Chains A and B, each alone.
Chain A
Amino acid sequence: MAALAAVALLALVYWVAKPPNESVTVLPSAIDGHVGAVVVTRGDKQRVLDKAYATTRNGDAVLIMNPAQVDEAFAATLQALPSAPTVFTLYFVTGTDELTDESKGELPKIFAELKHRPVPDVQVIGHTDSVGEYRANDQLSAQRAETVKGFLVGIGIAAERIQTAGRGEREQIVPTADNTDEPLNRRVEINVR
């Protein structure tokens, strides 16, 4: 009788103090399918998860889970992941803050993407090529950034969430000598987080 009570008590203690179940699963990147790695250490056991859907449960040997099962179990969680930070680049007509026709055509796509984000943090950075005077290019790059900020405010992004900067001709994508007309350097980068 006493033995039975002891067993019951032990079972109760175990039930109350039972450690939680823990599982870890590595997923392929939703963007490019790349699979990274996670090293799980539990006590003296170490498991390396470096294949898509590789899983360890409570530190047990690695197994490969069924993707549909994982996606279902974590549907609400994965749904809540924020959009990945991204960069858009717009190009300009030489010496002006006017977009090239091609970049004008890109705007609707960029605006649509931005509208997916409820509270975007935006950094707009203007650049020039090396044609013209250094100081004048500082001003032109800042003007380009301000012009793009104007577009973004125009589609409803709060002005206080947009930072602008002009980098002049300091950060060329295509390195050139001074006074070189280079369309790829006449640009504004829109960093969105």
Chain B
Amino acid sequence: MRWIVAAVLFGFACAAAAEAGQIKTAAGSVYLERSGKRLPASVGMPVEQSDTLVTGADGTAGITFTDNSLLSVGPNSVLEIQKYVFDTTTHAGQFDASLKKGTLAVISGKMVKQSPEAMRVRTPSSIMGVRGTEFVVKVD
């Protein structure tokens, strides 16, 4: 019994650190902030829940998430992936992102198709419920 509990807990731990997406485009200065560290971001790098994507004055970057959501940021942007959970079998999930500043483009994925507003994007003063497809956001 104890082993089962341990195995289940281990499973959860693995799921928590699972890859949410991957950086697919990166130009100029792009960083990922993870656990207080600032990592130079490059194409192919995994993105996890709680990561913050930061671009400099010449930076742009795009991420493909495991539910096929696509997000990109323009120069001078700060985007935090606050929460990302996706069940590849049921397509249920939750996606919370927060644009602190800069520009963001979003094409929503399978999660939103399965359940509208499973994806939410925050800005300093607003919250957006995403019912589908494509939109852009600017905070300046």
Give the residues from 93 to 140 in chain B that come closer than 8 angstroms, CB to CB, to chain A: 101, 103-105, 107-108, 117, 123-140
Q: Are B22 and A119 in contact (CB under 8 A)?
A: yes
Contacts of B74 in A (CB 8 A): 74, 76-77, 80
**With an 8 A cutoff between CB atoms, is B49 at the interface?**
no
**With an 8 A cutoff between CB atoms, is A39 at the interface?**
yes
Give B75 Cβ to nearest chain A Cβ, in Å.
6
Chain A interface bracket (under 10, 10 to 19, 20 to 34, 35 or more): 35 or more
**Contact (A117, B24) CB under 8 Å given A27-B135, A80-B72:** yes
Interface of B, secondary structure class, is strand
B interface residues, how many (CB within 8 angstroms): 43
Q: How far is the CA of A117 from the CA of B64 in the complex (A)?
A: 12
**Contact (A38, B126) CB under 8 Å given A21-B140, A74-B74, A117-B24:** no
Name A59's closest neighbour in chain B (CB-CB).
B126
Binds A, one of B9-17, B33-41, B55-63: B55-63
Binding site for A on B (CB under 8 A): 22, 24-25, 27, 43-44, 60-64, 68, 70-75, 101, 103-105, 107-108, 117, 123-140
Given A20-B123, A42-B127, A74-B138, 12 additional A-B pairs, CB 8 A? A22-B124, A23-B137, A24-B137, A26-B134, A36-B132, A40-B127, A40-B128, A41-B129, A42-B126, A79-B60, A82-B25, A118-B44
Sorted nearest first, the 3 A-B pairs with minimum C-beta distance are A36-B132, A36-B133, A82-B24
